[in-house]
Structure 1
Amino acid sequence: MKSSDAESHRLRDFAKEKVTFKQALLVAVAAGLGYGFDAYAVNIYSLVLPAIKDTLHVSLSALGTIGSIFLVGYTIGTIGFGIAADRWGRKDTLGVSILVYGASTALGGLTTNVPVFTALRFLTGVGGAGELAVGAPYTAEMWPARHRAVGTGGIIFSLYSAGYILAAGTALLVVPRWGWQWAFILAIVPSLALFLIRRRLRESTRYTVAKLEAKAKGNKRAKVSIWRVPGAKKRIVIGWLIYTANAVGYWGMTVFLTTFMVQKFHVSAAGAIKYAMLFYVVQFLFCYVGTWLADALGRKPSAILGAVIMMGATALGATATGLSSYLVFGGLSIAMLGWLWGVGDTYIAELFPTSLRGTGFGIAVGGGRVVSIAAPFVVGWAISVYGPTVPYLAFTGLWVLTIIGYLMGPETARKELEEISIDVAGGTASTQLVRKETLES
């Protein structure tokens, strides 16, 4: 009895500790920078494919297979790191994620053995996936309700956009002088720096309280399966719909982005990379447009508006006959990916209870990524058979899934996570205390 009382006092004392704006911002930036370097590790591969092909003496088909194996790792990592975040904590799991993908990317630059390189790309996918799978739930738990979309999806995905810009800049400046290997090897430097920075982060108050509650109740809450939580299956399906569109759209539209410009508009390879960098600068800004609207008007209105704009931009970009019109509409379609991912990252993280937030997010997003594994292969095949316009145009209808997903789900804007989340075994006064006492700014 005394032990139970002591746990209750400890729980309430911890819950009363407010999360400061500085702490919340540090978590968002640390998670976002990790996701940005994940973007670097992901995209540097596609940007230097010709150089890798010459060094490893493999065909483009084999490199496409390596890319798909990377996406298999990305899918496994999304689900695995989400589950791990619920078991071992947001802070520590995020630290492991960056070490895995930083080390595997760097080692990839030191080998000329194709099977070893392939295995390292798989590990890069596993580790890199943890950046979003852990970072989005972690950040969502730290930010106040009225700014949660900007703090979570806005900051995190905008830094992903910045990571692509860094990768493209490296491909233009570093690779021609020192080779593609150094573009991979240098990834270890920011990874180690971010790992050390993350050691100073504060663990999520909500997560810590949930763990203490589980301990005080004899760990019953921790044993709850997400598949037995009322309403969880529907919310996972919502995530699958939203992230099938997001993931298939992203990989299908960006892996062959420069190829599209080279083949259809006869732009040089270097020129195509420069235009792609410009697109991602606009995407960086649109992450904040979409998430600001999500905080101001609601997740559902912002996402549905974004999906409608995306359908129009995709159709006009795919059918553009001149480079100037393509730069407007094609650039808008790439920018809208930032809008839709930023809102989606926030929304899916909000749908699940704290004790299962990482698991729910990982399964929901990972399910969408399962379908995306085939996207680079299918789009590459379609380009070779039908040319660049038809597969690009086919993505117009993809965003109907986004609209359906958001229409199925609840509105979450300006609500505390405890109001949104499915109730697991009742909830307690201490959980409600966290809701009231967490960051107010």
Structure 2
Amino acid sequence: MKNVYSKQEKRKLLFSLPVIVAALGYFVDVYDLLLFSIVRIPSLTDLGYDPDVIGPIINSWQMAGLLVGGILWGVLGDKRGRLSVLFGSIITYSLANIACGFIPNIHFMDQADTYLILRFIAGVGLAGELGAGITLVSESLPKELRAIGTSLVAGIGLCGAVVAKLTVELSGHWTYAYFIGGAMGLCLLLLRLGVIEPGMYTSVQHDQSISKGSFWMFFNNKVRFVKYVKCIGIGLPTWFCIGILATLGNQFGDAMGLTSAVDPGLAIMWAYIGISVGDFASGFISQWLKSRKKAIFGMMIFTLVGVVLMLFSGYKSVETFYFYCVWLGLGTGYWAMFVTVAAEQFGTNIRSTAATTIPNIVRGTVGLMTFLFMYSKGSLGVIAAGAMVGLISFAIGISSTLTVPETHDKDLDFVE
């Protein structure tokens, strides 16, 4: 039976403290997560390294940190509580980002190695933010408002990428952008002091008969395992667009013979402007269609069309490339919906583990996509190599979306 809420009640629920804290937390998370991609070229050039050689390696290690942190924070979120993750993760990545600002002053070890280690640590910290936030909001809001609430979190949060690019431009030096990101994270800790655990979790927190935060539960049951793998598959196209097409946009621009060079930082910024709008819209689209799957499938097809046009329509203007970045961003704005679906698939005792590990495994696949792209571009060329990686990503994504169980209006008060 559905509950009916007045407009005033909806506003109060959608702008409650858990939603605001999760949105601002994800804002800082995205700022710090994308900051290296934005400052990759100026920072590594400033340090005396080749950005196209060292950059992908450091980025892959950051993504490896996300994989490790995804498991760590996901398990802790179910064993110790959602709030423990929100505090622990933000302290970790905030301090790591502040340390990145001091890299030019480090001379006792190789600066590239220092950069790599710190981005790995930052990746571990960044892994906990989104999953814990989406889990907290999903369990705090009624099912009728879950999709809109999580879309607000992601829509606001993803603006962090735009602010990251503007901060780099306005601050005058890439090190200041790292200091600002770390400071924002530490300030956010104060706001989180007023948030409490959702009742849905506290009702099972101290029940010793229920296994909580067991990562292996996704592998010891065939139905759970298949759902888990399909949830990962749904997210692959999103990070193909960001991790390959936008982050390595300068390589695609050169291969297309564009009249001026693509700035990867601008490509990421324009993509995330689109993603922010898409994420705001995805929750309302899902409510209108009364289906998570239909909303995601429609946005995925829209993205696929944009990828084909970006790579093969024969334009020469860099502005057109940025236009397609916005297009891809709008389409991959189902990111919040995808994480929400992951959270809704599983019971309260492993929900945080699912919602945290799944998006970070998707982020971690950027390392594999980058390796496949770099390995293939020598024989296939940049455009064909990118198209091949994209074809694999979208084939898995579309198949997973069509076959995963529908979770619209699903009651989340259950355990595995």
Match of 2:48 among 57, 62, 79: 57
Q: Distance in 1 between matches of 2:155 and 2:301?
A: 21
1:230 Cα offset (Å):
7.2
Q: Distance in 2 between matches of 1:20 and 1:321?
A: 46
1:389 Cα offset (Å):
2.8
Q: Distance in 2 between matches of 1:245 and 1:85?
A: 27
Superposition CA RMSD, Å: 2.7
The equivalent residue for 2:313 is 320
The equivalent residue for 1:430 is none
Please show how residues 157-172 of structure 1 align to structure 2 within 5 Å. 157-172=154-169
What amino acid is the match of 1:303?
Answer: I
TM-score (ref. length: structure 1): 0.81
- Percent of residue pairs identical: 21
Q: Distance in 1 between matches of 2:158 and 2:113?
A: 30
The equivalent residue for 1:80 is 72
What amino acid is the match of 1:146?
Answer: E
Match of 1:132 among 130, 133, 141: 130
Asked if structure 1 preserves the Cα contact closer than 8 Å seen for 2:246 and 2:325, the reply is: no
Q: Distance in 2 between matches of 1:108 and 1:102?
A: 10
Asked if structure 1 preserves the Cα contact closer than 8 Å seen for 2:77 and 2:213, the reply is: no
The equivalent residue for 2:331 is 336
**What whole-Å deviation, never above 9, does each CA across 1:239-289 have from its counterpart, x for those lacking one?**
22223343344312231135534663233556x755653443232111122
Where does the alignment leave 5 or more consecutive residues of structure 1 unmatched? Answer: 1-17, 425-441
Q: Rate the CA distance shift 1:84–1:268 in 2: closer, same or farther, 3 A.
A: same
1:237 Cα offset (Å):
1.7
1:97 Cα offset (Å):
0.7
Q: Rate the CA distance shift 1:230–1:99 in 2: closer, same or farther, 3 A.
A: same
1:101 Cα offset (Å):
0.4
Classify the secondary structure of the residue corresponding to 1:103: helix
Deviates most, 391-400 or 183-192: 391-400
Classify the secondary structure of the residue corresponding to 1:199: helix
Q: Distance in 1 between matches of 2:62 and 2:84?
A: 24
Q: Does 1:405 align with 2:400?
A: yes
1:86 Cα offset (Å):
0.4
What amino acid is the match of 1:145?
Answer: K
The equivalent residue for 1:155 is 152
The equivalent residue for 2:232 is 240
Please show how residues 201-280 of structure 1 align to structure 2 within 5 Å. 201-212=195-206, 214=207, 218-222=208-212, 226=217, 227-228=219-220, 231-261=223-253, 264=256, 265-268=258-261, 273-274=265-266, 276-280=268-272
The equivalent residue for 1:33 is 24
Please show how residues 105-124 of structure 1 align to structure 2 within 5 Å. 105-112=97-104, 113-124=111-122
Asked if structure 1 preserves the Cα contact closer than 8 Å seen for 2:97 and 2:178, the reply is: yes
Q: Rate the CA distance shift 1:269–1:321 in 2: closer, same or farther, 3 A.
A: closer
The equivalent residue for 1:438 is none
Q: Distance in 1 between matches of 2:262 and 2:79?
A: 46
Asked if structure 1 preserves the Cα contact closer than 8 Å seen for 2:67 and 2:127, the reply is: yes
Match of 2:39 among 33, 48, 71: 48
Q: Distance in 1 between matches of 2:342 and 2:213?
A: 22
What amino acid is the match of 2:305?
Answer: G
Q: Rate the CA distance shift 1:75–1:327 in 2: closer, same or farther, 3 A.
A: same
Asked if structure 2 preserves the Cα contact closer than 8 Å seen for 1:314 and 1:396, the reply is: no
Where does the alignment leave 5 or more consecutive residues of structure 2 unmatched? Answer: 1-8, 105-110
Classify the secondary structure of the residue corresponding to 1:355: coil
The equivalent residue for 2:193 is 199
Q: Rate the CA distance shift 1:93–1:193 in 2: closer, same or farther, 3 A.
A: same
The equivalent residue for 1:362 is 356
Q: Distance in 1 between matches of 2:250 and 2:282?
A: 25
Q: Distance in 2 between matches of 1:249 and 1:405?
A: 18
Please show how residues 300-315 of structure 1 align to structure 2 within 5 Å. 300-315=293-308
1:382 Cα offset (Å):
4.9
Q: Which has the larger radius of gyration?
A: 1
* Number of aligned positions between the proteins: 394
Q: Distance in 1 between matches of 2:222 and 2:244?
A: 35
The equivalent residue for 2:5 is none
Please show how residues 341-420 of structure 1 align to structure 2 within 5 Å. 341-380=335-374, 382=376, 386-394=380-388, 395-418=390-413
TM-score (ref. length: structure 2): 0.85
What amino acid is the match of 2:96?
Answer: S
